[in-house]
Structure 1
Amino acid sequence: METDKNYSTNILKAYQRYLKLERNYSTNTVDAYIHDIKSLLDYCLEISKNVLQLQLEDLQNFAATIHEKGIGPTSQARILSGVRSFYRYLLLDGYIDADPSELLESPNLGKHLPEVLSTPEVDKLENVIDLTTKEGQRNKAIIEVLFSCGLRVSELVNLKLSQLFLDEGFVQVIGKGRKERLVPISQRAIKELNLWFYDRKQLDIKTGEEDYVFLNRRGSHLTRTMILIMIKKEAEKAGIKKTISPHTMRHSFATALLQGGADLRAIQAMLGHEDIGTTEIYTHIDITTLRQEILEHHPRNIRSKEK
């Protein structure tokens, strides 16, 4: 069994190199994949089987065990997605002749529509920011860039001055898997950035941090947690009751584009989605909004309410 354990460890290390070097995944993503596969390897030890010997029935039993542990459906789906990815790698690299995970099903999560903010709500969020503080203009610029460009928060905290092409109206974004894309930036966002750059010049910037767009008062680039806390605090001040996060701005960006008539493929390119299916969730949001508009403003519904 010790030999099997060592062999599985070597396979895991090879898979880790594959994710990092060939798939170009970030350290956090690689760690998440490896963590989930380790739970599968622990299960292999429990049933005294090598990971290469598992069949579909074994994987279904593994899925049942993680369910019994009280792990939520979303986390179950993530783990099983990682298992399928692992077995695709094993097949690709010649460890196995057939993929036992091909018919492995994830729990049905149903449709979850993310919260979005309307443009007036984004304006309300920005208007409550205290611009007399050292972070005020920076925070306003952050919210406007998130809403105007649809960036992930990880893309925003790593955004560099050298990636801004403001005269041309574009931002170069380094997304998941180190993939680059060009995203248009609005004149409103450019204006807020330029106002922030005036305050930024007053900072004592730490060595190695000079190229980051957004810095804290100590001259270091921001973290995702800092931005999450800031947005939640400003939303509370603005009286916005929705549960929002930096990602809400990205959802709001995509929904506003769709409502404005943008093509779904164009939205996919600007968001950096590999799969158009990921982008299609915004069509569901738009339909939900449209239904609400009809219920509130169609003359038949208005008359019904009056009665």
Structure 2
Amino acid sequence: MSATPPRYTISDPLVDDFLLYLETERGLSNNTVEAYGNDLAHVWEYLKAKGVMEWAGVERKHLEGWMSELAKLDYEPATVARKLSALRMFAKFLVRERVCVKDFCELLDSPKLHRKLPGTLSAEEVERLLDAPDEDSPQGLRDRAMLELMYSSGLRVSELCGLPLQAVDLDEGFVRIFGKGSKERVVPVGSKAVTALERYLDVARPKLVKPRTGSDLFLSQWGRALSRKTFWVNLRRHAATAGINKPVKPHLLRHSFATHLLENGADLRAIQEMLGHADISTTQIYTAVKTDSLASQHAQFHPRRKQVSGGDETAD
């Protein structure tokens, strides 16, 4: 079992300046800034215990000892990598601010990560899921529109539930998203999603509006923005109706969007732009999904790989 990272606090003007830089200049979210602050406080606790009294005195050996300590405590490699990422950014910040002469993380090795491939739905499963909501009710029309838009445009669930009316241009067929770090991107909306949204706006949303309803696009029965938790509950219900026997989480539609685009020949850079990934390496994981799928198809259908009764491969 992996260790649960404890919370630390640190009183350090340099760290405060760095976190302010992340928030104002780099545009990172509050949650990310808080996590980085906690990571730096964590490493500082270790360094103080080893007799290091200032950041300028940090050496590679200190950080290698810290990483070994994390490994002994069964921290997941991804958690260690995130902590190290925070420390690397901070070290570069200290060099830029002339607090340190050299980057104390420069020669530090990162832990090897084995990234778990994202799950996806098949195109046929997606069709069944999209058809699952009962479109005789306002809530069903709303859910159909949300599912269509999420799959059509690869939105995060937070982006989907936070959309205002003015973010969607159905005439031009695009949606304007403010994603992580308040970064703006414009994503196309497919024709079927446009049709579902038009039906929701014309027929369903007026029935969900209450006296204090604001400009939120997708409304709950109380006339407020539909929460992510409620969307998740509804998604699981629709997946059960569709007979999908796998855990269906909101991100699964986003993964399916990217995977299906790639399988049908879309450019990886275009997918990166639509998903709002800052780094192409994040998007490249979908190439591994595609490769895995191709290997499965090869094993199932190639005459030299197909299995005959008894478990033996076909003869050459």
TM-score (norm 1): 0.89
User: How far 1:51 moved relative to its partner?
Assistant: 4.6
Give 1 or 2: higher helix fraction: 1
Q: Does 1:242 align with 2:263?
A: no
How far did residue 270 of structure 1 move?
Answer: 1.3
Could you tell me which runs of 5 or more consecutive residues in structure 1 were left unpaired when the two chains were aligned: 1-5
- The aligned counterpart of 1:200 is 205
Contact 2:145 2:197 in 1 (8 A): yes
- Determine the structure 2 residue equivalent to 1:24: 27
SS at match of 1:201: helix
| d(CA) in 2 for partners of 1:116, 1:126 | 15
Give CA deviations for 1:100-152 in whole Å, capped at 9, x if unaligned. 11222332222421101122111122233334555322222222111110112
Instruction: Please say which of residues 222-231 and 136-145 is displaced more in the overlay.
Output: 222-231
Aligned to 2:180: 176
Distance (Å, rounded) in 2 between the aligned partners of 1:7 and 1:125: 48
State which of 78, 84, 87 in structure 2 corresponds to 1:83.
87
Instruction: Tell me, yes or no, if the aligned pair for 2:95 and 2:102 is still in contact at 8 Å.
Output: yes
* d(CA) in 1 for partners of 2:229, 2:99: 40
2:237 is aligned to 233
Query: What SS is found at the alignment partner of 2:208?
Result: coil
CA change 1:223–1:62 in 2 (3 A) is farther
- Between the aligned partners of 1:57 and 1:224, the Cα distance in structure 2 is 44
| Residues 290/50 of structure 1: CA separation in 2 closer, same or farther (3 Å cut) | same
Counterpart of 1:241 in 2: which secondary structure?
coil
Using the alignment, how far apart are the partners of 1:95 and 1:185 within structure 2? 49
Output the amino acid matched with 1:264: L
Partner of 1:63: 67
Equivalent position amino acid for 2:133 in 1: I
For residue 226 of structure 1, report the CA deviation from its aligned partner: 3.0
Q: Name the structure 1 match of 2:286.
A: 282
Q: What is the count of residue pairs matched by the alignment?
A: 300
RMSD across aligned positions (CA): 2.2
Tell whether the 8 Å contact from 1:115 to 1:243 is kept in structure 2 after alignment: no
Give the match for residue 308 of structure 2.
305
Q: Which moved more, 1:191-200 or 1:180-189?
A: 191-200
C-alpha deviation, 1:288, in angstroms: 1.2
* 1:9 to 2:9 alignment: no
Q: Out of 54, 57, 66, which is 2:58 matched to? A: 54
Q: By how many angstroms is 1:225 displaced?
A: 3.1
Distance 1:112 1:178 in 2: 27
- TM-score normalised by L of structure 2: 0.86
- State the AA in 1 paired with 2:17: A
Q: Which residue of 1 aligns with 2:36?
A: 33
- Any conservation in 1 of the 2:259–2:290 contact (CA below 8 Å)? yes
Q: 1:144 to 1:8 in 2, by over 3 A?
A: same
